[in-house]
Structure 1
Amino acid sequence: MEHVPPPAEELALLDRELARLDARRMQLLTRRAWLLSVLQPPATPPATPPGRPAPAAFAPSFPSAAPVPPRSAQNVLLTLGGLLLTIAAIAFTLVSWGQMGIGGRSAVLALVTVAALAAPAVLLRRGLSSTAESLGALALVLMVLDAYALHRVAAPDTGGLGFASAASAVLAGLWAAYGLALGKLRLPLPMAVVSAQFTLVLWAWAVGAQASVFAGALLLTAALDCAIALRGKGVAVRTTAAVGGCLSGAAGLLVALTLSVTAGTPAAAVAPGALLLAGAAVALFGVWRAPKEFAVAGGLPAGLAVVAGVGGVLRAGVAADWSVPVYLLCGLVLLTAVRAPLPRPAGQGMLWASGVVVAGSVLSAAPAVGMTLMGPVSRLTAVWSGVPEGRARGALGLEGTEWSQLSTAPVILLVVAGLTGAAYRWWTWCVRTAGAVVSPGPTWRGAAGASALVLGWAGLLVLPVSLDAPYAVAVAVQALLVAALLAVTVRAVRLGAGPVASAALVCAVLGAVSAGTLSLAVEPATYGVFGALLVLFGTAAVMTRADTASGTRVTRLMQAVPACAAVVCAMVLAGALGASLELATYRAAPLMLVVPTVTVLLGARLRGGPPALPVELTGAVAGVVAVAMAVPDAPFLALVLALCGVLAAGTAVRAQRRPAAGYLAVVLFVLATWVRLSASDVSAPEAYTLPVTLPALVVGVLRRRRDPAASSWTAYGPGLAATLVPSVFAAWADPSWVRPLLLGLAALVITLAGARLRLQALLLLGGAVLAMDALHELAPFVIQVVGALPRWLPPALAGLLLLVVGATYEQRLRDARRVKDALGRMR
């Protein structure tokens, strides 16, 4: 049998074995370090010249500067050399040219150019590629200088632009052939592409061509760049061609777009349209095999060019205010690109282009929506003053506004709303259809539904104004829109469609504000609209509360917003009722208090549900408005404050509202009392402070009864100070003897009560007030006595007092400590 040692013995064995392993490991590490030191060659010190002492052994050694890599140093030298030679060649050509004859000058430039062109071939065979690159660059510069010299000598009368166009084409061909012949040189081929960018543009400039010819030249250059970018040799060539194609193509498309937009007839817009379509074809050709990011970026301008080209021709044949709908129609037709045989990234770019066109069209209609929503605000100073001409634009203050450019806003908004609504309704089919091009995210359907709802509401909102319908029609349409939006909100909440519900609720609130302000132009419309809005929002709040079972923040918001909107409508109706009864503003304040009264009852009925607190706070705003209305008349202000206090006290009955509402009720009652006393010309401070002191003392007694350890300063200090401190100041300014006598008696009672009950606050406050009151009563006599005494007597008495205090200092200190201890034992 195998012997198994006890745990304690086995643990000791393991510890000993681990100690041996650690010792062995240290031996091996020490041996390894010695071997490394043996294998490293010793550093060879620099040779010391004869006669110079060797460096001290303790001299610090500094790291030597890292040697410059041979290749980097060579590149720097070659670059500098090539740059200097280039500068010298330019100076020779431009400055020293006139000092030699024609033959000599030509011979020198030809000889130098041929040598510079031939040298790289020899250098490349010998492996000197960097030197060959430098001389090759010099050769390219010399060829440009040769072209300049040729123009000055051989063809001085030829136009500079035409000669430059031909020279750029010749140089592009020569550089391309030179780069292909010497394939190891990196610069000639990209420079050939750069040179080719100027050939057609300079030619069009030289012949004074029209803008359309310029656009065509730029687009042909871009097409050539696309071909090179797809088939060119080397990354540098393809990159250069791609950049050149983007720049040339963008410039050509901008020129063509300008011509298309400014064309006055369809015939004049055909040529720019053809150029735009050609530019779109070039862009699609260039990105056909490009990476995804570049393909999407190329499909976007291609789609925009198609819309601009076709839409430009159609726009020229319609009225100016229908231009945007024409482009919108072309942008929507572009959606068929999802079925076109295009690469997926290019198709995505085309869809983005359609989205850009649609978004731009919607933005063009935004000013009409803004004026419809904000127009009634300009007439808030003329409430119930009637509607100019009885039309919708008159009610908005837009009777003199040029509306022709915005007349198509409803069409744009409703068409886009219908499209996005159809996408929301048949989302599965849309996803399946567009699946070959784009895969919509999970949230896109909600965004489509919300967009359809917002755009449809905006289009219907602007429609009566666009048609300049009668005022009653405009008001009725806006009210009906609010009703429909609230119905959609309730339905969407029930189905759990959060984005649609949120969008519908926001539009309902905005529509209610617009309809309400619009109705303020006529008195019956005000009552009709706000009454209907009150019923609609109240019903929506009740139905939403019944339909939402979860307690998420979104559902709480869906419940609270309609309820608060209903309260605001009730506030407007209360204010309108006061105005209809021709009551003064302060006399109409009690009518406004009906609103917070109802909200207090609703808050109790809702039992702390999500809408309870927002409804009560909105009702509190109505109370604040009522107080502000009553400010001009003090008696009415006192009445309103007292009624608000009653409402706050009624709210404080509920435990969850008691802390805030209870304090608010006390403050309102006190304010009501003060305002009433002020209105009755009562100036005695005790009349203002006693209504605060007595309830505070009652609260203090209840607090001490519930918590005997509570401090008397917390329980009774605020209440007593509220009356005693103002009364002391009043007594010192009062020439009569009644107030000081009553104050002294009250302070004496408080002091005795504090001593009897061992309450620190009562003892100290009462004693301090009693002393101040006694000093007030004795002050005249003290002044008379001091005036009758010799002037040397007060200093002498003061000195004598100091001597007595100093002699009995220890006893006084012990007395003070005993008083302090006695006060400390009080509560």
Structure 2
Amino acid sequence: MTNFPPPAEELRFLDAELRQLDARRAVLLARRAWLINTLYAAPPAPPVRRTEATAPSVQNVLLVLGGILLTVAAIAFTLVSWGHMGIAGRALVLGAVTLAALGVPVPLLRRGLRSTAEAVAGLGLALTVLDAYALHEVAFTEVQGTGYAAAASAVLAGVWAAYGVGIGVPAPTEPSGRVEGEEPHGVHTGPVPLRLPLPLALLATQLPLLLWAFAVDAGPVSVTAAVLTTAAADTAVALLVSLKPVRITAAVAAVGMGAWGVLAAGWLSWSASDLSSAARAAGLLALAAAIALTAARRTPEPKPALGAALTGGLLLVAAVGGVLRVSLPGEWTVPGCLMCGVVLLAAVRMRLPDPVRRGLVAASACVQALAVSWTLPLVALAVVGPLGWVERIWSAAPADARAAAVTTDLPWPAHSATGPLVLAVVAGVLVLAGRGTAWRGQSLTVALVLGVAAVFVVPAVLELPYVVGMVVQGLVVVAVLAFAGAAPRPAEPGEPDEGATPMRSPLPATAVILALVASLSLACVGLASRTATLVVLAVLVVVFATAAAWRRESGVCCAPAALTYAAALTCAIGSAAAWQPQHTALLVLSVPVIAAVVAARLEGSPMTVPVEVTGAAAGLLAIGLAFTDPPVLALVLGLAGVIASGTALRPDRRHIGYVAAALFLLAAWVRLASWGVGTPEAYTLPVTVPALVLGVVRRRRDPQVSSWTAYAPGLAVTLIPSLLAAWGDQDWPRPLLLGAAALAVTLLGARHHLQAPLVLGGTVLTLVALHELAPYIAQVVGALPRWVPPALAGLTLLALGATYEQRLRDARRVREALGRFH
């Protein structure tokens, strides 16, 4: 009898079998798909080998090498084997080889073998040179070699050009319709010539004029003219010919020959000693300039046109400058060249291509920059030279303003009388050129610098009297500060900026910096005389103080400058009155007082910090002056503490109170030292008492403050130095008083549960007691046998070891008791 499972269990069994069949079917289908892909997939392609040299490049190399070898063979035949043949044989061989080499390119071109035709044509052109050499050796032996070379190069250039034009191939067209090898701006019809003959013909044209000049023993001017004429011809070819190889060759040749001619003409202009030779050199430079400007106008590319125009403008100025150098006094050469550079700016109004106009303007800018650089030694000497008076203050008033500036071994720059004129002209040009431009602010800033420099050096250049020179320089400082104050103010946040102009951003700051530099130089000039020093410093104090009060934007620099000059004035007053430095220090303290009062009235102005820093520096100067006299130093420190205390009354300067306390403490210490007090408590107690008072106040305000923070610094300041002094003191009063004080501190710490007084007082008390018992202990140790101390130490260690756990428990108990204190 068959037993069937219940239907539910049989259903579960069937579902499990079906799931296994589905999984197996999925595996088989995946395997089938992989096998199909493997059978029908294409075999992998073999790796492509990288080609290191293309077929055209290999062909060109082979053709070039072949042409070179044939040319070398022809040269060797001509130079070595020429003498073994008769006249008819020589002519027959060379003529036949040359004609063959020049005629072979025709059938090669018809078959489309252009590269091979180029190589064979190059060989034929080289053979023509050998033909010309052979002709001279046979038929024209009496002709001078250089002249024959000039004529031969001209004939060869014509022959090569005709050959290159006559031998050509039909012009293939590109997809755009433009002929291959032709530039868009050129027009070329007919067959395209070979690439090699025409450039070689152009190179050959570089020789005829130059060789002819050498042949007739022409002078440097004629040789230079020949070079520049050749450069002009090259430029014309580069501008007019449309074929790219010829145009590139002509451009390179024009640049090379032009550079050679310009250098030669420049040397002639520099070495010219009379007007006629300078005029000839100027004519050559003018010719070079005309070539460059013509190229600039006809060149379509912007960058080459700009460079050519720049070069042309500079050459024009150099041409005129060479004539001015020999016809005018030395000091007027640079101004004359500068005026020529300024005239170039007229190109802005001319109808010229934009690159040419910008190139001429750039040339003018270069000339002006060079003129300004010529004045830099003069300006540097006038500004920095007076610093030499610092080493010889009040020695003697100089004879004039130039003697006041030249205080070192540096010589006065030659031909510098027109330096101020050059600076003024460039400044005026910048003002006029910057109108209505985006860079107006920058141009006006540079113009301001140059204008101030021009006026500042006038007294030294004109050798004005010493006092007049100082007055002029002082007026420069006043004028520059007035200009800085009159400049438009920057708009406040949220305020409409209706009066905004490009000049307001860089000018005020630049003007203030110029005023500071000029005032420093003026102050150094005033050091030559006692009266001048006092007057100049007083005037500078008033001027900079007025500028700071007039405009707060410039007061950030002007206010500290006023205080600095005030400190210098107080020192000068003290020296003029023959005071000792320590007594002058009391007068210098007036500057920190003024700085503190002014800073308190500024109410968060940007000038506050600079004023306070300058006042602090003046205070340090006063301390340094009084350093050699302790009583006066103590007074100065105390007065400085008073000034710092007054500053600390301001809510935002409470931290200055610490500085005031330190100054008062230093003042007390210096006074005690001047009295010869050597007791340390006299120095430490003035610190301990205020520190403990502050600690008490702090703990009352915040009971959570630790006693170590509140009381430990004040107690340590007195207890530790006193303890050190007590250990070296043989008398009994100091240990007794220190022990009593330490006991009192310990008891107060135990009474109020304060950890710091308890630990510090107990430690000091213990050490004082040991100090007092030390003599007796020493006597006892000296009376005992030598074996007793080691024995006692051993017993002590045994006792500690036996009761180690109890000792740890006792130490833990002591630590917990201390931990319950504050």
State whether TM-score is above 0.5.
yes
- From 481, 485, 489, the equivalent of 1:490 is 485
Distance of 2:289 and 2:31 partners within structure 1: 75
Q: Structure 1 residues 200, 643: closer, same or farther in 2, change over 3 A?
A: farther
Matching residue of 1:53:
none
Of 583, 591, 595 in structure 2, the residue corresponding to residue 599 of structure 1 is: 595
List aligned pairs for 1:661-810, cutoff 5 A. 661-810=656-805
Greater C-alpha radius of gyration: 2
Preserved contact between residue 421 and residue 453 of structure 1 (Cα < 8 Å):
no
CA distance in 1 between partners of 2:74 and 2:770 (Å) = 107
The residue aligned with 2:323 is 313
1:324 Cα deviation from its structure 2 partner = 0.8
How far apart in 1 are the matches of 2:666 and 2:278?
77
- Counterpart of 1:74 in structure 2 is 58
Task: For 1:416 and 1:772, locate their aligned partners in 2 and report how far apart those are by CA, in whole Å.
Answer: 84
- For residues 773 and 112 of structure 1, do their structure 2 counterparts lie closer, same or farther at Cα, with a shift above 3 Å needed? farther
1:134-283 correspondence to structure 2 within 5 Å: 134-136=119-121, 161-180=146-165, 181-182=167-168, 183=192, 185-283=194-292
Alignment coverage as a number of residue pairs:
754
In structure 1, the residue matched to 2:43 is 42
Contact 1:450/1:500 (8 A) holds in 2:
yes
Structure 2 vs 1, CA of residues 698 and 203 (structure 1 numbering), >3 Å: closer, same or farther?
Answer: farther
Query: For the structure 1 residues 529 and 99, does the alpha-carbon distance in structure 2 shift closer, same or farther, using more than 3 Å as the test?
Result: same
Kindly indicate whether residue 288 of structure 2 is the aligned counterpart of residue 292 of structure 1: no
Partner of 1:406: 416
In the alignment, the residues of structure 2 paired with residue 31 and residue 168 of structure 1 have an alpha-carbon distance, to the nearest angstrom, of 85
CA distance in 2, matches of 1:87, 1:707: 107
Deviates more, 1:448-457 or 1:176-185: 176-185
Supply the distance in 2 between the matched residues of 1:826 and 1:519 (Cα, whole angstroms): 69
1:340-355 paired onto structure 2 within 5 Å: 340-355=350-365
On the 8 A contact 1:727/1:743 being kept in 2, the answer is yes
- 2: CA distance between counterparts of 1:349 and 1:37? 72
Inter-CA distance 804–339: structure 2 relative to 1 (3 Å threshold): same
Q: Is the 8 A contact 2:377 2:413 kept in 1?
A: no
Distance 1:646 1:304 in 2: 68
Give CA-to-partner distance per residue, 1:48-94, whole Å, 9 cap, x none. xxxxxxxxxxxxxxx56434464266247526744872695488369
Post-superposition shift, 1:525?
A: 2.1
Partner amino acid for 2:42? P
Cα 1:821/1:347, change in 2 over 3 Å: same
564-573 vs 255-264, which moves further: 255-264
1:740, distance to aligned residue in structure 2 (A): 2.6
Q: Does 1:646 align with 2:642?
A: yes
CA distance in 2, matches of 1:87, 1:234: 27
- 1:523 is aligned to 2:530: yes
Q: Distance in 2 between matches of 1:748 and 1:244?
A: 106
Note the C-alpha offset of 1:135.
Answer: 4.6
Which 10-residue stretch deviates more, 348-357 or 267-276? 267-276
Letter in 1 for 2:467: A
The answer to whether the 8 A contact 1:137-1:187 is kept is yes
- Distance change (3 Å), C-alpha of 1:802 and 1:330: same
Q: Does 1:417 align with 2:427?
A: yes
Counterparts of 2:605 and 2:115 in 1: how far apart (Å)? Answer: 82
Kept in 1, the 8 Å contact 2:680–2:721? The answer is yes
- Post-superposition CA distance 1:85-118 (Å, at most 9, x none): 2695488369965895576777766666555544
Distance 2:313 2:32 in 1: 75
Q: Specify the alignment match of 1:371 in structure 2.
A: 381
CA contact (8 A) 1:97 1:105 kept: no
1:458 is aligned to 453
User: In the alignment, which residue of structure 1 is the partner of 2:349?
Assistant: 339
For 1:501 and 1:813, how far apart are their aligned partners in 2?
A: 77
AA at the equivalent of 1:311: G
Mapped to 2, the partners of 1:775 and 1:93 lie a distance apart of: 120
Counterpart residue identity of residue 176, structure 1:
A
Distance 1:399 1:742, change over 3 A: closer
Partner residue in 1 for 2:171: none
1:327 pairs with one of 332, 337, 342:
337
Question: Aligned partner of 1:42: which letter?
Answer: P
Q: What is the letter of the counterpart of residue 352 of structure 2?
A: L
Question: Amino acid of the residue matched to residue 50 of structure 2?
Answer: A
- Percent identical pairs in the alignment equals 47
Matched AA of 1:267: S
Task: Give 1:703 deviation, angstroms.
Answer: 2.7
Greater shift in the superposed pair: 350-359 or 230-239: 230-239
- In structure 2, how many angstroms separate the alpha carbons of the residues matched to 1:215 and 1:747? 105
Shift of 1:635: 1.4
Match for residue 387 of structure 1 among 378, 397, 404: 397
Contact 2:67/2:120 (8 A) holds in 1 = no
- TM superposition shift of 1:712: 2.7
Structure 1 position 301 matched with structure 2 position 297: no
Give the direction of change, closer, same or farther, for the CA distance of 1:804–1:352 in structure 2 (3 Å limit). Answer: same
1:126 corresponds, among 107, 111, 117, to: 111
Contact map agreement 2:519 2:540 (CA 8 A) in 1: yes
Deviation at 1:223, TM superposition (A): 1.1
Shift in Å at residue 629 of structure 1? 0.9
The residue number in structure 2 matching 1:538 is: 545
What is the distance in 2 between the residues matched to 1:372 and 1:78?
A: 71
Q: Which residue of 2 aligns with 1:658?
A: 654
- Distance 1:801-1:240 versus aligned 2 partners, 3 A rule: farther
Asked whether 1:570 is paired with 2:553, we answer no
Match of 1:508 in 2: 515
In terms of mean alpha carbon deviation, does 531-540 or 805-814 score higher?
805-814
Question: Is this contact kept in 2: 1:85–1:138, CA < 8 A?
Answer: no
CA distance in 2, matches of 1:515, 1:365: 20
Please give the alpha-carbon distance, in whole angstroms, between the structure 1 residues aligned to 2:352 and 2:104.
49
**Is it true that 1:92 corresponds to 2:101 in the alignment?**
no
Q: 1:575 is aligned with what amino acid?
A: C
The alpha-carbon deviation at position 815 of structure 1 amounts to: 2.9
Task: Judge conservation of contact 1:228–1:241 (CA < 8 Å) in 2.
Answer: yes
Conserved in 1, the CA contact under 8 Å of 2:694 and 2:710?
yes
Judging changes above 3 Å, is the alpha-carbon distance between structure 1 residues 731 and 226 closer, same or farther for their aligned structure 2 residues?
same
SS in 2 for 1:406: coil
Contact persistence 1:689–1:723 (CA under 8 A): yes
Find the aligned partners of 2:75 and 2:720 in 1 and give their Cα distance: 99
Which has the larger displacement, 302-311 or 109-118?
109-118
Check whether the contact 1:280–1:301 (CA below 8 A) recurs between aligned residues.
yes
Deviation, structure 1 residue 630: 1.0
Contact 2:423–2:450 under 8 Å retained in 1: yes
Distance 1:138 1:472 in 2: 84
Q: Secondary structure at the match of 1:736?
A: coil
1:584 corresponds, among 548, 571, 580, to: 580
Determine helix, strand or coil for the equivalent of 2:43.
coil
- Cα distance in 2 for partners of 1:278, 1:30 equals 89
Deviations 1:531-577 (A, max 9, x none): 222222111111113xxxxxxxxx3xx22111122112211211111
What are the superposed Cα offsets for residues 303-326 of structure 1, whole Å, 9 maximum, x if unpaired? 111122233324422111111111
* CA distance in 2 between partners of 1:34 and 1:201 (Å): 84
Deviates more, 1:666-675 or 1:296-305: 666-675
Q: 1:470 to 1:756 in 2, by over 3 A?
A: same
The answer to whether the 8 A contact 2:75-2:130 is kept is: no
> Within 1, Cα distance between the matches of 2:33 and 2:517?
83
